[in-house]
Amino acid sequence: MSERKEDGAVKARYLEAEQRGMLVAMAILRREFDSVEDISPGGSPALFNLVASVSGGTHSGAVSADLLASRGDLRVAAEVKSRGGYGDVTFVDREMRTAAALGDRWQMLCVFNVTQPHPVEVWRLNGLYGTNLTLTREETRPLGVARGVSDEARFSLSLAMVQARGLRLDVGGLLPEHAWMGPSRD
């Protein structure tokens, strides 16, 4: 297999894991909130409004989240990190800014085992305070210039830290297709 085809296959498996993780995360949030919206494509006015309201309108810079959940007046942004098995999770700087700006209105859902014939495992972190993040790549763009994630700083959070600081969620009662979605297209 050529390197280009192999890279494409790896990317396809990565995207499949992300899609499966989003389905699980949405099912979990729907148990707790009245409304769950997929805002992962970016540019969500609702996310910008939430950040502005929480930060008193003083926040600047790009922000990012995957899901926006609401119940009454409560709105929460969620970042979803999906893995086919188990492993560390990574963040880019705008995800970090979003977590910092939203405080307790931000959460991360780490969805593990989404492509394995084992139970899906989900861990929730409410904020990143007290976690040991490792800078794995420096930012390579001038401040204030948006050029995509390939130029953003990247941080890593170990699986051990996710499990130490997070809360393992009960995935019981999710639709069967979310508990085991079959093998990935390997």
Q: Tell me if residue 144 falls in helix, strand or coil.
A: coil
Q: 31-65: per-residue pLDDT in tens?
A: 999 999 999 887 788 898 899 888 887 666 778 89
State the angle between helix axes of 93-102 and 45-54 in degrees (0 to 180), rounded to the nearest 10.
50
Question: Taking the model in full, what pTM does it have?
Answer: 0.81
Residue 81, CA distances (Å) to 52, 104, 148, 183 in order = 24, 18, 18, 19
- Is-contact 88 156, C-beta < 8 A? yes
- Residue 37 backbone phi and psi in degrees, to 5: -120, 135
Residue 147, CA distances (Å) to 131, 137, 140, 143 in order = 28, 16, 10, 11
Cβ neighbours of 121 (radius 10 Å)? 18
The pLDDT assigned to 63 comes to 83
DSSP letter assigned to residue 71: E
Tell me whether residue 179 is exposed, middle or buried, using C-beta atoms within 10 angstroms of its C-beta: 0 to 12, 13 to 18, 19 or more. middle
Per 3-state DSSP, the chain is made up of helix, strand and coil in percentages (nearest 5) of 35, 25, 40
CA-based diameter of the chain, in Å?
53
The whole-number mean pLDDT for each consecutive block of 10 residues of the chain, a chain of 186 residues, reads 65 85 94 94 85 79 89 95 91 85 92 84 83 68 58 84 92 62 48
Residue 109, CA distances (Å) to 59, 139, 186 in order = 24, 25, 25
User: In sequence order, what are the residues at sequence separation of 6 or more whose Cβ sits closer than 8 angstroms to the Cβ of residue 141?
Assistant: 147, 151, 152
Q: Which amino acid is at 186?
A: D
